[in-house]
Amino acid sequence: MELKAKQNGGAKFGAMILAYNQADYIEACIRAIYPYFYRIVIMYSRAPYSKYNTHAREEFTELDNTLEILEGISDKAEKMIITDGSWTCQEDIRNDALDIMRTEGCDFCFVIDADEFYPDGMLPGLFAYLEENLPEGQVGWVKTRTLFKQMNYLIDTKRARLAVATRIHPETRFTPDGGRGPTGEQFKVDDRFFYWHLGYVLPNKRMWEKVRTYGHARELPPNWYEEKWVNWTPETTDMCRRDPSRWPKTIRIEPQELPGILHNHPYFPYGPEGPGESPQYY
């Protein structure tokens, strides 16, 4: 796959992507952001995190073809830096990625999960906005639109905002309590900027692994997987793991609203099992 580069102005923007078993979306994610970033730091892990579920590496031993996908991407502009390793927790892997960004001279660090997509053409405007408004050391929090189970169902919530970018400060670090956000005062990014989150449009087997290995493992309430995931219908309510009422319901959307790169994705417009019932995998 050949990717073309575009020239950014002023500041150098780097993106970090964590790549343990991310075959579902990682190629589309990289293709979508490649033209805009100065560096894309990809942290490929050969094992799940063990901090959040001490049995994770016993429960999940099968690697997908993420590495094969990464090795098949033509990086003519030499933007991609792939680090191969194994980490016990998210803060360690993110701090290693941040150190690489510093070495590469990045001014901004973007946290982009492999299942996150900005609307077509939005990143240049977001870059310009952050250059003008985000002070060094502060963390930009951006609105997120989370799809659930299928690409045409959206979580109907007004309280969805996640840490996305920081202007790198010498003391910027990721901490155990910070989640995906590094240290620094929160900065609310203008609401015209947002991204689509497809981390809940996955096959059942992948979702079970996700909620048992990432930081989600310490947030998973009893029976969430069975009741809210496997048995989900458009009428299901209170779906958020940490605070059920934060995700009160889903609403149907027109999937053509999604970034163009997703329109040819195998899961478009439904989820990986289609619009019908999903089989159990665990």
Q: What is the 3-state secondary structure (H, E, C) of the chain?
A: CECCCCCCCCCCEEEEEECCCCCCCHHHHHHHHCCCCCEEEEEEECCCCCCCCCCHHHHCCCCCCHHHHHHCCECCCCCEEEEEECCCCHHHHHHHHHHHHHHCCCCEEEECCCCEECCCCCHHHHHHHHHHHCCECCEEEEEEEEEECEEEEEECCCCCEEEEEEECCCCCCCCCCCCCCCCCCEEECCCCCEEEECCCCCCHHHHHHHHHHCHHHHCCCCCHHHHHHHCCCCCCCCCCCCCHHHCCCEEECCHHHCCHHHCCCCCCCCCCCCCCCCCCCC
CA distances from 68 to 65, 225, 258 (A): 5, 30, 26
Cα–Cα distance measured from residue 196 to residue 276, given in angstroms and rounded to the nearest whole number:
23
For residue 198, pLDDT over 70 is answered with yes
At residue 91, the pLDDT reads 94
- The model's confidence at residue 219, banded by pLDDT at 50, 70 and 90, is confident
The answer to whether 196 and 258 have CB atoms below 8 angstroms apart is: yes
pLDDT tens column, 80-137: 999 999 999 999 999 999 999 999 999 999 999 999 999 999 999 999 999 999 999 9
Q: With contact defined as beta carbons under 8 Å apart, do 16 and 250 qualify?
A: no
Domain residue extents for the chain: 13-143+161-197
Give pLDDT, residue 276: 52
Question: Which residue would you say has higher pLDDT here, 101 or 279?
Answer: 101
- pLDDT of 178 reads 75
User: What does the pLDDT average to over 129-149?
Assistant: 96
The pLDDT confidence band at residue 272, using thresholds 50, 70 and 90, is confident
Considering the entire predicted model, what is its pTM? Answer: 0.92
pLDDT tens digits for range 154-178: 999 987 899 999 999 999 999 998 7
Architecture of domain 13-143+161-197: Alpha-Beta Complex (3.90)
Reply yes or no on whether the pLDDT at 4 is more than 90: no
User: How much of the chain, in percent, has pLDDT values that exceed 90?
Assistant: 79
pLDDT per position as a tens digit, 65-77: 999 999 999 899 9
Q: What pLDDT is recorded for position 158?
A: 82
Residue 227 predicted with pLDDT over 50: yes
Asked which of 77-86, 168-177, 196-205, 214-223 is least confident by mean pLDDT, the reply is: 214-223
Joined tokens for residue 64? 């997908």
Look up residue 222 and give its two tokens.
Answer: 């009893």
Q: What is the mean pLDDT of the chain?
A: 91
The answer, yes or no, to whether residue 3 has pLDDT greater than 70, is: no
Is 202 or 221 the better-scoring residue by pLDDT? 202
| The pLDDT value given to residue 74 | 85
Residue 260 has pLDDT above 80, yes or no: yes
- Residue 215, token pair as written in the block: 């930081």
